[in-house]
Chain A
Amino acid sequence: MRKRDQQLTIIAFLAPAVILYAIFFLFPMAQAFYIALFRWRGLSTNKEFVGLQNFRTLLLEDPIFWKALSHNLVFLGISLPVVLIVGLFVSYALSRKVWGASMYRAVYLFPNMISVVAVAVLWSFVYNMQFGLLNSFLKAIGLERYATGWLGEPSTALPAVVVVSIWYSLGFYIVLFLAGMQSIPTSFYEAAAIDGATHWQSFRHVTIPLLWEILKLGVIYLVIHTLNIFGLVYVITCGQCGPNYHTETMLTYLYRLAFTESNYGYATALGVVAFLLILGFALISLRLMKREAVEF
């Protein structure tokens, strides 16, 4: 009797969250799968059922989609090693009680506290051809011949945005890793030190294994973040998303299809594909990082 009461209480406490989750998340998601089967302008309630046509066109006949996806993968491919290497290095240094560590911690997190739009606007000033910080800097150190319109040149537009994306998100990963490192008992390091381990050895054999779960989380988060990137790209290289779609990503393309080209059904199909891709990539990275968790 008491057990049943308890269960009822649990259900009663969980129900509101589950219902809200269903209404605001599961239902729209199911609806997206449904809308993706239609040709719909998104201007009235008229929809025409076209089956899997949208998916077929997207995957087989749409070079822009593949180009956009490849750009997302560039974001992922560059961010991943940078975040892992720089992020781990900096957070390790900060966890070792460097002078001014708490100040650095705040500084690294600063970009994260600014809204994406503000960051994007700031950086488009940095990259400005005429009065941008970057070109002025190059000029000041005598490398004026390398000054260029960073966001307009086909070869620099995408890397320029990738740099901003990393600058923006790195602080988050540093703080994430740092929190993980600080929860590792110092006695482990002391023991390693007594055994004569170097800094590198204790990092490699103590920090990394004990941080593994956090690293996994970081990687999954990075996968989601880079495949889902929108605001930053949209604001920095708005309009055409760079010359000849050079900074087009899946979601900027989705936005354009839905809201300026009135191709809602097709855009929704892209949304579904993006969702499945992100899910797939997340599962793959989980699989690759599978390792016996170390309890401590």
Chain B
Amino acid sequence: MRRTLYILAFVVLISLVIGGCGKKQAKEEGKIVIEVASFQGGFGLDFFEYAAREYEKLHPNVKIKVWGNPRIWEQLRPRFVKGNPPDLTWPGWGMDVWGLVAEGKVLEMDKYLETKAYGQNVKWKDTFYPDLLEKGKYNGHYYIIPYNLNITGWWYNVNMFKKHGWTPPKTYDELLVLCEKIKKAGIAPLTYQGKYQAYTLRGFLIPWAISIGGLQAYKDAQNLKPGAWNSPAFLKAAEMIAELRDRGYFQKGAMGMSHTEAQMEFILGRAAMIPCGTWLGSEMKNQIPPGFKMDFINPPVVKGGKGDPSIVSAGPESWIIPKEGKHHDIAADFFKFMSSIDMAKKFIVQKNTLMSIKGAAEQVKLPPDLVSAAKCMREAKATWDMDFEQWYPSMKAATESAMGALLSGEMTPKQCVDAMEAAAEKVRKDKSIPKHKI
């Protein structure tokens, strides 16, 4: 008797499971299924899920499946090789996107960008900050489309500065004076994410090279012009970093810290300033103690330098439509919907970040820690990004490692920039690597 009951229960369970699946299948029958694969970083996937549901309401014949994880590029790579990629993807920072473009694996977006945008009476193309859209061009065509936008600079601890009567430094000279005061107060003036030297390249070396030599000095470096990476501007910038290092203004031990460890030091008030992007607030949301206030500044500039002080580091997180995806038109249309001004505004509010879509930030009430960054972006005469790391992945490791060696005191400023130039030289000489210009 008991056995029959068990068998009965088992059969019921199985049929429930099968029935459940069958039902779902039936619901999707006759619908076009679009697969959207996204890197799952600090912003999660929920916004894309939300956009998908909204889009399905407008297009009942479409079903959008969103999935993703923090190491998504590892799963996508074999699918690209096999020719079975998703329909739309943000493959994350670990994917060699420009390699994909060069291999002809990415769909050219020109014709879609000419179509009318959602919710505004302009072409889709004209809704983006032009600088950011242009970055995704290859051989004169658009391939990589920007979405949310990270502004990078320095963050300082507002209450700590107020308490001691310090003001955020505008110039390098002010910085030196300020750091001495902070150090005397028993606080580390600056900390950094030592395990990932991309932060220090973006936060110290490149902005200072730009400030000294003008944006052209950095453009030349990105364009692999011989001698650009060890030019006087870069050398001087490296010397400034060495000066801060030798004066003991960097937090001891920062070299071994991951990004979250260093950021913890900052929000716990053991370091006064840190270089980071606008994702900082969202990334540390659960750790930030009540009452903690931080604000954004552009890295202090060098007096008398050629660079415009308003120049800001702005890097979008960008999406692509794989060429071998099955539904180009719908995927492009969904992405257009996702990047519409309404969705962009919602993304800013929900995810506490900025967008590559013009005007979105002005139309919403920004979270307090984004106000200054958004202002910097609005007032910037020009923007820059670390494109070379995406174009030439081998330069990423080489420049970051040289940067680490400079901060740890293993390399002199001269050796550091020479190592970077050597890495550029290697890429320059390698004819098989497609070259980019900015």
Interface assignment of B253: CB less than 8 Å from any CB of chain A? yes
- Tell me, in angstroms, the Cα distance from A152 to B252 when the chains sit together: 10
Residues of A near B77 (CB, < 8 A) are 42-43, 259
Interface assignment of B96: CB less than 8 Å from any CB of chain A? yes
* Contact A261-B96, Cβ < 8 Å, known A149-B252, A153-B256: yes
* Nearest residue, chain B, Cβ from A257: B394
- Tell me, in angstroms, the Cα distance from A262 to B74 when the chains sit together: 12
Interface assignment of A239: CB less than 8 Å from any CB of chain B? yes
CB distance from B63 to the nearest CB of A (A): 28
A 108-148 binary contact with B (CB < 8 Å = 1; else 0): 00000000000000000001111000000000000000001
* Contact A256-B397, Cβ < 8 Å, known A46-B103, A238-B195: yes
Which of under 10, 10 to 19, 20 to 34, or 35 or more describes the interface residues of B? 35 or more
Residues of B near A157 (CB, < 8 A) are 256
- Tell me, in angstroms, the Cα distance from A276 to B76 when the chains sit together: 31
Contact partner of B265 among A130, A148, A154, A259, CB < 8 A? A130
CB distance from B73 to the nearest CB of A (A): 8
Residues of B near A46 (CB, < 8 A) are 103
Residues of B near A262 (CB, < 8 A) are 96, 99, 393
- Tell me, in angstroms, the Cα distance from A128 to B100 when the chains sit together: 38
- Tell me, in angstroms, the Cα distance from A157 to B399 when the chains sit together: 20
Pair A261/B408 contact, Cβ less than 8 Å: no
- Tell me, in angstroms, the Cα distance from A43 to B77 when the chains sit together: 6
Contact partner of A244 among B94, B253, B401, CB < 8 A? B401
Pair B256/A244 contact, Cβ less than 8 Å: no
B 182-212 binary contact with A (CB < 8 Å = 1; else 0): 0000000000001111000000000000000
Which residues of A (1-55) have their CB < 8 Å from a CB of B? 39, 41-46, 48
Which residues of B (370-423) have their CB < 8 Å from a CB of A? 393-394, 396-397, 400-402, 404-405, 407-408, 410-411
Interface assignment of B51: CB less than 8 Å from any CB of chain A? no
Pair A152/B257 contact, Cβ less than 8 Å: yes
Pair B256/A149 contact, Cβ less than 8 Å: yes
Pair A244/B96 contact, Cβ less than 8 Å: no
Pair B410/A130 contact, Cβ less than 8 Å: no
- Tell me, in angstroms, the Cα distance from A40 to B82 when the chains sit together: 14
* Nearest residue, chain A, Cβ from B394: A261
CB distance from B127 to the nearest CB of A (A): 30
Pair A48/B410 contact, Cβ less than 8 Å: no
Pair A244/B405 contact, Cβ less than 8 Å: yes
Interface assignment of B58: CB less than 8 Å from any CB of chain A? no
Contact partner of A243 among B74, B80, B100, B407, CB < 8 A? B407
Pair A129/B408 contact, Cβ less than 8 Å: no
B 246-264 binary contact with A (CB < 8 Å = 1; else 0): 0000001111111001000
CB distance from A238 to the nearest CB of B (A): 6
Pair B196/A244 contact, Cβ less than 8 Å: no
- Tell me, in angstroms, the Cα distance from A259 to B75 when the chains sit together: 11
Interface assignment of A151: CB less than 8 Å from any CB of chain B? yes
* Nearest residue, chain A, Cβ from B100: A43
Interface assignment of B104: CB less than 8 Å from any CB of chain A? yes
A 231-253 binary contact with B (CB < 8 Å = 1; else 0): 00000011110111100000000
Interface assignment of B270: CB less than 8 Å from any CB of chain A? yes
- Tell me, in angstroms, the Cα distance from A17 to B412 when the chains sit together: 57
Contact partner of B194 among A44, A127, A152, A261, CB < 8 A? A152
Contact partner of A245 among B73, B104, B196, B401, CB < 8 A? B401
Pair A43/B401 contact, Cβ less than 8 Å: no
Interface assignment of A263: CB less than 8 Å from any CB of chain B? yes
B 82-126 binary contact with A (CB < 8 Å = 1; else 0): 000000000000101001101111000000000000000000000
Pair A129/B253 contact, Cβ less than 8 Å: yes
Pair A152/B100 contact, Cβ less than 8 Å: no
* Nearest residue, chain A, Cβ from B426: A61
Contact partner of B94 among A238, A240, A259, CB < 8 A? A259
Pair A239/B196 contact, Cβ less than 8 Å: yes
Residues of A near B404 (CB, < 8 A) are 240, 242-244
Interface assignment of B5: CB less than 8 Å from any CB of chain A? no
- Tell me, in angstroms, the Cα distance from A262 to B99 when the chains sit together: 7
Interface assignment of A75: CB less than 8 Å from any CB of chain B? no
* Nearest residue, chain A, Cβ from B103: A44
- Tell me, in angstroms, the Cα distance from A45 to B261 when the chains sit together: 41
Pair B256/A260 contact, Cβ less than 8 Å: no
26 A-B contact pairs sorted by A residue (CB < 8 Å) = A39-B432, A43-B77, A43-B80, A43-B81, A43-B96, A43-B100, A44-B80, A44-B103, A44-B104, A45-B81, A128-B256, A129-B253, A148-B252, A149-B253, A149-B257, A151-B256, A153-B255, A238-B258, A239-B197, A240-B195, A242-B404, A244-B404, A260-B393, A261-B393, A261-B397, A262-B99
Nearest first, the 4 closest Cβ-Cβ pairs linking A and B are A129-B253, A152-B255, A152-B256, A149-B253
Which chain A residues have a beta carbon within 8 Å of chain B's beta carbons? 39, 41-46, 48, 127-130, 148-154, 157, 237-240, 242-245, 256, 259-263
Known A39-B432, A261-B394; 12 more pairs at CB < 8 Å: A42-B81, A44-B81, A44-B105, A127-B256, A128-B261, A153-B255, A240-B195, A243-B194, A244-B411, A245-B401, A261-B393, A261-B397
